[in-house]
């Protein structure tokens, strides 16, 4: 809608006609913020356009393609689906664009995938398999549902009732139990009682990511109801992708503000940071490591809370009532850094692209499943950057990142160590 | 796919299948509009086409081969570096090949002799960072840090920092140009040896081929490599700080400083520019249009309009903000001296220093021209002249008057007369006139204003050292030349006999006027039947 009623509703591509039609090809979505431009190397932030090069893979191309889809000028093809899905939806384009303009790029990209699904053309075949797993087995791997809590370490018992509910997520439950285990041990060490969901299901990240919004919405409602019913005040996540689902995408799908969920959505790093600053958690054991921190997209630039908005767009493109744009300014950037700096022996070195300019690991939002080579390539780019600053290890706050980095290290036989931040915190807690 | 199978096969063999595509999705990604510089206007709608094929060469040799194949198979082509420069850098005719130069991103820097050799895919902020890291700097053209350094060097390429460093054509050193028939011209010292340190070279200076009239829109070949002169800077680091969108370079205050001055009048601003130049002080200077201040203060479009709607004719005509950059190139003492001299000049002229943030958001690394679109979603610099300061000031005032007739559709600006500054230590004065409009309303009036400015330049003798590509050649050529248009077309015929390199430039705006019915009534000059 160029003028008239408009709503931040991703189920209708028309809502983003203004945003798509006003892209000016400044490619702020592609380059690192020019203020932080590091020179010739590591100068871009969009994995998709950096890998595939053609303008159609940058947001500037996708906005034009989106307009063509909206206006019925573009037929579905393999190339079109690749353009829509060989993208990590990492939000780098969105915050880059919003440095200067008021355009909703990330939402437009999400709306394009939703349209592809509605038109019966999306998602990619690999996504459909994962979706099937989620619907039938309640996890994205298709693993037996009854194994979901097998990660629980001996000696740690969740409380039947607590203020904190730890939502483990599929990755930490099935493929990266070390993260879930470290998380609950940290809680234990801090004397924080926690509970688990009586019957935890997948958060539906993949469903929403690939445009299967109806299925994702059902899951969102089911999960939110379960947490509300539990009486938890805080929902704790150790997975950045899950964090964004709960904090941003669920409210978005259900058209409610994050604040109205009825509970606080907190990532482990926010929780630990508070504990450390309150003195409730002490990191005393040395971890002698020169490491670098990778900002997971969903914890950093994409994690600002959701506030529904609908109104009118009028002359000069102005909207009313006022819309507070999510520009990535208030993402979770500092807390993980403060935590790492608090670990004795850790030398934190920053990568060249950091915070809102960080280059995505390549795994998220359906990329790893449908375009594994691209996902691996993106992780390799990041590892080159980590090596460039002399890091011995790369640390992130998301099992998706850890998984993909590990894959890249294994493929190339590198010596770089890959950690989730929970593992390092645990290592620094005196037993 | 509209180009022949045979031509496609040859082109594919040059770059490999990964770097060529005729897929409609890929081609759609290269559409000029609807948003962007000059986009959404009649020119974009009438004159641009989607490419029928996109190719991405890696080397000069590949570019030569591509161009030769185009000549062999009669495929029109346009070089494309970043696509920023709106419709004029996109295909204009059917079945055109778009040569995307982004893979040509080679970079070398010679610290001893102060120059960098860049490929077409290298952008300004990359170049500036590499230069600054080594104690040098360059002007990042006002078009933006995101533009190809080469494209901007052969196009516009100036900013307030050009006051000190000078205009870009003086900084073009050894350069490689693939002519429209595929022949390679090595300019400057590259003509003699593989060392680009010298710009002039032997014989006539061929750099006129790059910048003459609209040559920079790719109608006389493709620049693949250029050595760009860098200038010595001061040694302290300009530290990036903040989180988007509040990112900025923190300036080392004893070596680099912006100071804003309120001045009593426009003439006093012009006078200050003269006096600064005479005293040979300052690293940059510009008049600040009130737009910029409002953009800088607003956190969103709506806030801009809240601020802007408080302005009126009186506040605009009384707003005289002069922004001066001081750089202690040699020492802190040098900057202190310059500041004292500057303060004397300003005091004598009745000006006053205002509190100025010790940071730079807009000119060193981040020429954030993209912010110009915040207000309306559209923007164009409708005219720019490089002449004298006395010439620059009335140029803007005159345009402001002319603009009233076309407001709306142009955005209400209460008579804002654009901006002016001096270049090359006062040896030139510069005026640039910016316009904005609502792109979702009828924009015919914007197209008409555009053309009317060309006529106004002729009527009022605002002769300009550069003819914009939005000025019809058969209108301006006879008036400026008197045979400038004939020369230009003769040059084009000589170098591009098949008229394949970005047709119909340099006659594109002439053709637009012929084709757009709302423009035809404005045509009051003679022109022959257009080719191609």
- CATH value at residue A182: 3.40.50
B30 contacts A37? CB cut-off 8 A: no
Query: Is residue A300 included in any domain, yes or no?
Result: no
Pick from A38, A318, A355: CB nearest B301: A318
Same domain? B95 vs B137: no
CA distance B383 to B390: 17
The count of structural domains within chain B is 4
Residue B54 C-alpha, separation from nearest chain A C-alpha, in angstroms:
8
Interface residue B369 vs chain A (CB under 8 A): yes
Token pair 């409602």 is found at A221
Examine residue A81 and state whether it is found in any structural domain, yes or no.
yes
A83 touches chain B (CB under 8 A): yes
pLDDT at B461: 87
Q: Is residue A323 part of a domain?
A: no
ipTM above 0.90, yes or no: yes
Instruction: Look at residues A66, A98, A122 and tell me which one is the last residue of a structural domain.
Output: A122
CATH number at residue B9: 3.30.43.10
Please state which of the ranges A34-38, A137-141, A407-411, A413-417 shows the lowest mean pLDDT: A413-417
Whether residue A290 is found in the same domain as residue A408:
yes
* pLDDT for A38: 98
State the count of interchain CB pairs (< 8 A) between A and B: 192
User: Considering the domain boundaries, does residue B502 fall inside one?
Assistant: yes
What percent of chain B shows pLDDT beyond 70? 97
**Do residue B199 and residue B286 come from a single domain?**
no
Contacts of A316 in chain B (CB under 8 A): 301, 305, 375-377, 411, 438
Give the angle A215-A221-A225 at the CA atoms, nearest 5°: 150
Q: Which of B43, B72, B100 is the last residue of a domain?
A: B100
State the pLDDT at residue B155.
84
User: What pLDDT is stored for residue B532 in this prediction?
Assistant: 47
Distance CA A363, CA A210 (A): 13
Owning domain of residue B125: 107-232
Does B400 lie in the same domain as B269?
yes
Comparing C-alpha atoms, which of B226, B466, B410, B145 is closest to residue A99? B145
- The confidence score (pLDDT) of residue B214 equals 46
Point out which residues pair with A346 in neighbouring strands.
A289
Query: Is residue A137, in this structure, part of any structural domain at all?
Result: yes
User: Is B58 an interface residue toward A (CB < 8 Å)?
Assistant: no
Smallest CA–CA separation between A256 and chain B, in Å?
Answer: 23
Are B88 and B115 within one domain? no
Cα nearest neighbour of B412 on chain A: A316
Chain A touched by B359 (CB under 8 Å): no
Flag whether B457 is in a domain. Answer: no
CA A273 to chain centre: 20
Pair A117, A57 in one domain: yes
Is the predicted pLDDT of residue A248 greater than 80, yes or no? yes
Going by C-beta distance under 8 Å and a sequence separation of 6 or more, which residues neighbour residue B26? A54, A55, A56, A79, B54
Q: Enumerate residues 6+ apart whose C-beta is below 8 A from B235.
A: B135, B255
Domain ranges, residue A386: 282-295+333-431
Among A91, A122, A153, give the residue marking a domain's end. Answer: A122
Overall size of chain B counted in residues = 532
- Give the DSSP H/E element, type plus range, for residue A129: helix A125-137
pLDDT value, residue B215: 46
Domain boundary among A122, A138, A173: A122
**Cα(A75)–Cα(B24) distance, rounded to whole angstroms?**
9
Q: Are residues A129 and A253 in the same domain?
A: yes
Q: What per-residue confidence (pLDDT) applies to B21?
A: 98
pLDDT at res. B465: 66
Query: According to the model, what pLDDT value does residue B370 have?
Result: 86
Do residue A15 and residue A35 come from a single domain? yes
Are A179 and A144 part of one and the same domain? yes
Residues A286 and A261 grouped into a single domain: no
In a domain, A203, yes or no: yes
Interchain contact, B240 vs A36, CB within 8 Å: yes
Mark which of B45, B75, B100 sits at the end of a domain: B100
Among chain B residues, the shortest Cα distance to A41 is held by B126
**Which A residues, 151 through 210, put their C-beta within 8 Å of a C-beta on chain B?**
none
Instruction: Tell me if A366 sits within 8 A of A209, measured CB to CB.
Output: yes
Rounded-to-integer distance, Cα B266 and Cα A266, Å: 56
Identify whether residues A159 and A204 lie together within a single domain.
yes
Q: What pLDDT does residue A231 have? A: 97
Among B202, B232, B262, give the residue marking a domain's end: B232
pLDDT at A431: 64
Q: Give the number of domains in chain A.
A: 3
A39 and A184 housed in the same domain: no
pLDDT computed for residue B142 by the predictor: 86
**Preferred mutation among B27, B28, B30, B104 to probe A, highest tally of A CBs within 10 A:** B28
Tell if the CB–CB gap between B146 and A31 is shorter than 8 Å. yes
Residues B91-139: pLDDT tens digits? 999 999 999 999 999 999 999 999 999 999 999 999 999 999 999 999 9
Question: Strand, helix or coil at A344?
Answer: coil
- As a whole number, the mean pLDDT across chain A is 97
CA distance A362 to A378: 5
B238 lies in a domain?
Answer: no
pLDDT in tens, A260-281: 999 999 999 999 999 999 999 9
Dihedral pair phi/psi, residue A164, rounded to 5° = -100, 130
Residue B255 forms part of a structural domain: yes
- Please give the average per-residue pLDDT across A169-198, as a whole number: 97
pTM of the predicted model as reported, rounded to 2 decimal places? 0.97
User: At residue B5, what are phi and psi to the nearest 5 degrees?
Assistant: -60, -40
Residue A304 resides in a domain: no
Mean pLDDT of residues grouped by 10 in chain B (532 residues)? 90 98 98 94 97 98 98 97 93 97 98 97 98 96 92 89 91 95 95 91 83 61 96 97 96 97 96 97 94 89 94 92 97 98 98 95 87 91 86 91 93 89 94 92 95 92 76 90 87 93 93 96 90 50
| Predicted confidence (pLDDT) per residue in B393-407, tens digit | 999 999 999 999 999
Calculate what percentage of chain B has a pLDDT beyond 90: 78
Does one domain contain both B177 and B320? no
Residue A253 CA, chain-centre distance (Å), reads 16
Please write the tens of the pLDDT for every residue from A50-98. Answer: 999 999 999 999 999 999 999 999 999 999 999 999 999 999 999 999 9
What's the length of chain A? 431
Same domain, B39 and B163: no
Any chain A CB within 8 A of the CB of B28?
yes
């Amino acid at each position: 809608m160029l003028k008239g009623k408009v709503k931040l509703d991703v189920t209708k591509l028309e809502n983003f006609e203004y945003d798509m039609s006003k892209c000016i090809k400044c490619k702020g979505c592609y380059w690192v913020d020019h203020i932080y431009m590091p020179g010739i190397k590591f100068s871009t932030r969009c994995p998709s356009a950096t890998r595939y090069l053609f303008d159609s893979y940058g947001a500037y191309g996708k906005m034009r393609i989106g307009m063509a889809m909206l206006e019925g000028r573009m037929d579905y093809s393999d190339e079109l689906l690749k353009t829509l899905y060989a993208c990590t939806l990492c939000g780098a384009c969105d915050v880059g664009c919003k440095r200067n303009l008021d355009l909703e790029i990330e939402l437009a990209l999400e709306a394009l995938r939703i349209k592809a699904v509605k038109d019966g053309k999306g998602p990619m075949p690999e996504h459909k398999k994962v979706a099937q797993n989620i619907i039938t087995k309640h996890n994205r791997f298709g693993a037996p549902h009854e194994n979901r809590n097998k990660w629980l370490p001996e000696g740690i018992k969740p409380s039947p009732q607590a203020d904190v509910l730890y939502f483990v997520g599929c990755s930490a439950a099935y493929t990266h139990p070390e993260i879930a285990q470290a998380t609950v041990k940290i809680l234990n060490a801090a004397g924080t009682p926690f509970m688990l969901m009586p019957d935890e299901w997948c958060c539906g990240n993949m469903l929403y990511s690939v445009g299967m919004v109806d299925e994702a919405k059902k899951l969102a409602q089911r999960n939110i109801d379960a947490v509300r019913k539990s009486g938890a005040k805080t929902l704790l996540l150790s997975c950045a992708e899950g964090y964004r689902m709960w904090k941003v995408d669920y409210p978005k799908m259900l058209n409610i503000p994050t604040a109205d969920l009825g509970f606080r959505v907190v990532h482990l790093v926010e929780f630990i940071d508070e504990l450390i600053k309150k003195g409730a958690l002490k990191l005393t054991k040395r971890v002698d490591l020169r490491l670098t921190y990778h900002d997971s997209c969903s914890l950093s630039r994409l994690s600002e809370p959701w506030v529904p908005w609908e109104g009118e767009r009028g002359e000069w493109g102005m909207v009313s009532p006022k819309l507070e744009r999510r520009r990535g300014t208030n993402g979770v950037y500092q807390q993980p850094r403060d935590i790492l700096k608090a670990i004795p022996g850790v030398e934190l070195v920053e990568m060249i692209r950091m915070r809102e300019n960080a280059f995505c690991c390549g795994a998220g939002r359906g990329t790893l499943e449908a375009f594994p080579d691209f996902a691996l390539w993106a992780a390799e780019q990041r590892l080159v950057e980590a090596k460039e600053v002399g890091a011995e290890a790369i640390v992130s706050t998301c099992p998706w990142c850890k998984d993909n980095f590990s894959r890249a290290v294994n493929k190339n036989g590198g010596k770089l160590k890959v950690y989730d931040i929970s593992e390092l915190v645990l290592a620094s807690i005196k037993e | 796919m509209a180009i022949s199978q045979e031509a496609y096969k040859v082109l594919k063999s040059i770059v490999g299948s990964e770097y060529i595509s005729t897929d409609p999705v890929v081609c759609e990604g290269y559409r000029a509009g609807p948003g962007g510089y000059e986009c959404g206007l009649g020119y974009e709608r009438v004159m641009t086409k989607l490419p029928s094929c996109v190719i991405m060469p890696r080397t000069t040799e590949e570019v030569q081969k591509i161009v030769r194949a185009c000549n062999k198979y009669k495929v029109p082509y346009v070089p494309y570096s970043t696509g920023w420069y709106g419709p004029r850098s996109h295909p204009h005719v059917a079945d055109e090949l778009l040569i995307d130069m982004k893979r040509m991103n080679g970079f070398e820097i010679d610290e001893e002799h102060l120059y960098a050799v860049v490929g077409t895919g290298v952008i300004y902020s990359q170049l500036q960072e590499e230069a600054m890291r080594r104690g040098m700097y360059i002007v990042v053209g006002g078009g933006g840090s995101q533009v190809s350094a080469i494209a901007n060097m052969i196009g516009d390429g100036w900013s307030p920092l050009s006051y000190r460093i000078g205009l870009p054509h003086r900084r073009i050193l050894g350069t490689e140009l693939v002519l429209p028939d595929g022949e390679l011209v090595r300019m400057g010292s590259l003509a003699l040896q593989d060392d680009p340190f010298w710009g002039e070279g032997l014989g006539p200076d061929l750099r006129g081929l790059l910048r003459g009239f609209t040559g920079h829109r790719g109608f006389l070949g493709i620049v693949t490599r250029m050595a760009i002169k860098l200038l010595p800077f001061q040694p302290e680091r300009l530290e990036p700080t903040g989180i988007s969108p509040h990112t900025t370079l923190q300036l080392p205050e004893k070596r680099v400083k912006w100071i804003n001055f309120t001045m009593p009048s426009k003439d006093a601003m012009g006078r200050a520019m003269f006096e600064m130049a005479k005293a040979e002080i300052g690293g940059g200077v510009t008049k600040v249009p009130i737009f910029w201040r409002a953009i800088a203060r607003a956190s969103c479009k709506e806030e801009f309009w809240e601020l802007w709607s408080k302005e009126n004719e009186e506040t605009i005509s009384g707003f005289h903000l002069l922004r001066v950059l001081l750089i202690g190139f040699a020492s802190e003492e040098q900057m202190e001296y310059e500041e004292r001299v500057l303060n004397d000049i300003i005091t004598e002229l009745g000006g006053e220093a205002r509190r100025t943030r010790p940071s730079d958001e807009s000119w060193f690394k981040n020429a954030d021209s993209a912010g110009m679109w915040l207000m309306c979603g559209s923007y164009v610099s409708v005219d720019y002249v490089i002449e004298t300061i006395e010439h620059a000031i009335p140029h803007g005032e005159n345009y402001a008057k002319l603009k009233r007739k076309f407001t709306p559709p142009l955005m209400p600006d209460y008579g804002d007369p654009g901006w002016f500054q001096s270049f090359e230590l006062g040896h030139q004065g510069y005026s640039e006139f910016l316009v904005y409009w609502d792109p979702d309303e009828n924009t015919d009036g914007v197209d008409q204003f555009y053309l009317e400015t060309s006529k106004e330049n002729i009527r009022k003798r605002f002769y300009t050292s550069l003819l914009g590509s939005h000025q019809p050649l058969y209108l301006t050529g006879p008036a400026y030349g008197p045979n400038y248009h004939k020369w230009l077309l003769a040059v084009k015929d000589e170098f591009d006999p098949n008229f394949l390199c970005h047709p119909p430039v340099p006659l594109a705006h002439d053709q637009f006027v012929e084709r757009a019915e709302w423009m035809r009534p404005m045509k009051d000059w003679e022109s022959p039947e257009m080719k191609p």
